């Protein structure tokens, strides 16, 4: 692990934006910091980091608030029923054996 660069997302969260661009350029663009892929990826990282900072005060307890309880129930019960119906087994089978 000592030889691997830091994660660009971690660097961005630490406000080390230039280092994040450098790591992305090194990994994806052979060191070219002007690569369109690097610019697009940095824009996505910046958007996520800013969103996380803007919503850092949100807690899990808010999932049980009256305005979110319906959404929470839908998510929980969708997961429960997908497990109980065996859908994950069928998906795994189709991925390993192909559509025969």
Q: Which residue has the higher pLDDT, 36 or 93?
A: 36
Q: Which residue has the higher pLDDT, 96 or 16?
A: 16
Is residue 6's pLDDT more than 80?
yes
Cβ neighbours for 11, distance < 8 A, ≥ 6 positions apart:
17, 19, 20, 23
Q: What is the mean pLDDT of the chain?
A: 89
42 and 32 in contact (C-beta within 8 Å)? no
Angstrom distance (rounded) from CA 37 to CA 63: 36
Angstrom distance (rounded) from CA 36 to CA 50: 21
Q: State whether residue 52 is helix, strand or coil.
A: helix
Angstrom distance (rounded) from CA 55 to CA 35: 30
Model confidence pTM above 0.75 = no
């Amino acid at each position: 692990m000592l030889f691997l660069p830091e994660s660009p997302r971690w660097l961005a969260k630490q406000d080390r934006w230039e280092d994040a661009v450098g790591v992305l350029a090194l990994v994806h663009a052979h060191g070219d910091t002007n690569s369109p892929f690097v610019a697009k990826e940095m824009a996505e990282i910046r958007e996520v980091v800013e969103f996380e900072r803007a919503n850092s005060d949100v807690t899990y307890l808010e999932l049980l608030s009256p305005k979110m309880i319906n959404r929470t129930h839908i998510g929980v019960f969708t997961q429960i029923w997908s497990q109980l119906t065996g859908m994950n087994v069928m998906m795994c089978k189709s991925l390993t054996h192909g559509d025969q």
